[in-house]
A = this chain, B = another copy of it.
């Protein structure tokens, strides 16, 4: 393990500086690259700093207010006061929203040392801790007179899922603060799980994977082998019909085939991604190369065949699930925000394990176009699903009412099933961890934002990098080596797969930089600059010929951003919009325009028939030219009121 940078001055990170997992969401014991913690990377400008600021000033507090308003944290108080089940509010997994929020608050306190937030965190933890049973069990929905018995509904009860998020919160807290009440509560819960679901005990698994990935990380935190063994037990049991059949089919919860035999993801997207993340961890910890190869294969295949342009996953509303290969309807994209969060987590793990740039590409694409799409500009409303095409303007959700999951084209303040807002907050608070990694030979930079990276390379000494960039608006990324070893080491900068024509300038020379990692190996002088230029200008993007749903349509991307056409800019519904592809996108420093027309279609009744025949389908009487029309980043759509929107635009020809 690398020695770590000296203690950070900020009060949030109280963990001893020599802890190798300090500030890290994921801390594998081996792999191609080693992660950095949120204390080693400071993002201090640009898009992601703004989003972290929004998280700090709005999103986290918004979630706190809603878990109170919905009574979900009140369930813990009611448990202590003996008022359950009468006063129980919310769905069976509502406890987990408190835990996800506690994880977010832990990262955020670790990042900023915010004393007020620390106090709120501790107060919330106290209410949770008070409800824990003596044996470590903790759930407001099960186990009391008048409630279902503990683990009586493993298919849908979500008890182990809730524990998974509790443990992830505990791990985050331990790595940013050290042992405290939250950590103790999480460990008691984990010990309880190991006691109940051991090799000779309850042979069940949870209908929603999550406990597995949490137990892997708890093992990494504590070194306690029983947590890893229990994670393996859960992962290996699954896939043999242990949960029983359901109307959606066993593949809904990945119980139709063992994860090690799965070649492409199926069923509920968040569940599949969480299970794969856990299995990737197991593979690393136990040096199970076969399992790692299986998880890599299924992830790569899923990216190639079952992923939207945005990085979004889940083509079916029914079952919130993956479709079959190349079945990717833009207007019925489910692309759940939480699947975006889970995909980032999985791809980050595979990046660390394999060093393959396509996983960092997937992290970037998904962060910009799914995770960052969910929150509204004010941080007080969220998308649950992320459609790529909106045919009818939605209605403004009531500010004080929790919505169904996918009921509107506008972001809603909260949901009856409200995993997405809290999942976004914990991701945004820990974003620093995705920026860079190290190995014995150097530093790899994966995500570009104005930031400072402080780490140590091998035994060679401290490295401090300053990254300056206006990315993704501008493609120039300037990395200054402020400190570094006196011996040669390697600085690697990711070149995204789309960035054809990228160049790297270092040591007075400029070279073409192919997609993957552009590496410079030198004994850098303090102050020496490496400059990467990525061609971020707007470009046409075409789909694989097998994606039937967007045949004859084209999208526009700019750098890592997927753009979209919104009726707000078109001045008309986008439903009949067509784009001219013989005129390249006009890109004026990020203001992108394309030539758009709308079809004037006659309603002729039955919509199928002979071209131009009297009973033929909606005849096109002509087109209305709109000239050059602005496209906006997809992540920003619907921030200007109800609208229609499309990412894929039919070509005029």
Contacts and interface: CB of A to CB of B under 8 A. Distances in A.
Interface of A: 247-249, 300, 303-305, 307, 309, 316-318, 323-327, 329-332, 358, 361, 389, 391-392, 404-405, 407, 416, 497-498, 500, 515, 539-553, 555, 575-576, 599, 601, 603-611, 613-618, 620, 650
B617 A544 contact: yes
A543 to B, nearest CB: 6
A392 B324 contact: yes
Contacts of A548: 330-331, 389, 549-550, 553, 650
Nearest to A615: B497
Contact of A546 (B358, B392, B500, B575): B575
Contacts of A316: 317-318, 332
Nearest to A575: B546
User: Copies of this chain, how many?
Assistant: 2
Nearest to A539: B610
Nearest to A315: B332
Contacts of A404: 247-249
A599 B551 contact: no
A326 B391 contact: yes
A497 B606 contact: yes
Nearest to A317: B318
Nearest to A305: B607
Contact of A329 (B547, B549, B604): B549
Given A247-B404, A515-B615, A544 B318 contact: no
A500 B329 contact: no
Contact of A498 (B248, B391, B607, B609): B609
Given A327-B331, A332-B332, A608 B543 contact: yes
Contact of A318 (B318, B552, B553): B318
Given A325-B391, A551-B650, A552-B552, 11 more contacts: A247-B405, A247-B416, A316-B317, A324-B392, A327-B332, A497-B615, A515-B615, A542-B608, A543-B608, A544-B607, A546-B601
B542 A616 contact: yes
A354 B650 CA distance: 39
Nearest to A406: B318
Nearest to A496: B615
Contacts of A550: 548
A545 B249 CA distance: 36
A82 to B, nearest CB: 28
B541 A610 contact: yes
Contacts of A539: 610
Contacts of A389: 548
Nearest to A540: B610
A309 B606 CA distance: 9
Contacts of A553: 548, 551
A548 B331 CA distance: 9
22 contacts: A247-B404, A300-B605, A303-B605, A316-B318, A325-B575, A326-B607, A327-B332, A327-B391, A330-B548, A497-B606, A498-B609, A500-B610, A500-B613, A541-B610, A542-B611, A542-B617, A543-B607, A544-B617, A545-B617, A551-B552, A551-B553, A555-B608
A616 B498 CA distance: 9
A329 B326 contact: no
Contact of A547 (B307, B543, B607): B607
Contacts of A329: 329, 331-332, 549
A81 B309 CA distance: 60
A391 B264 CA distance: 15
A539 B616 CA distance: 12
B544 A618 contact: yes
A590 B172 CA distance: 69
A309 B550 CA distance: 19
A543 B610 CA distance: 9
A546 B575 CA distance: 7
Contacts of A547: 607, 617
Contacts of A309: 608
B608 A544 contact: yes
Contacts of A575: 325-326, 546
A599 B248 CA distance: 33
A304 B551 CA distance: 22
A325 to B, nearest CB: 7
A613 B605 CA distance: 42
A515 B604 CA distance: 14
Contacts of A331: 323-324, 327, 329, 548-549
A366 to B, nearest CB: 12
A247 B417 CA distance: 10
Contacts of A608: 309, 541-544, 555
With most chain B CB atoms within 10 A of its CB, the pick from A248, A358, A391, A548 is A548
A329 B361 CA distance: 30
A85 to B, nearest CB: 19
Contacts of A318: 316-318
Question: Which of A300, A416, A552, A620 has the most chain B CB atoms inside 10 A of its CB?
Answer: A552
B616 A249 contact: no
Contacts of A620: 545
A610 B548 CA distance: 17
A316 B329 CA distance: 12
A546 B574 CA distance: 11
B541 A498 contact: no
Contacts of A327: 331-332, 391
Nearest to A362: B606
Contacts of A358: 605-606
Contacts of A545: 576, 599, 601, 617-618, 620
A550 B497 CA distance: 30
A599 B300 CA distance: 22
A387 to B, nearest CB: 11
A605 B555 contact: no
Contacts of A407: 249
A515 B247 CA distance: 45
Contacts of A361: 606
A64 to B, nearest CB: 25
B546 A549 contact: no
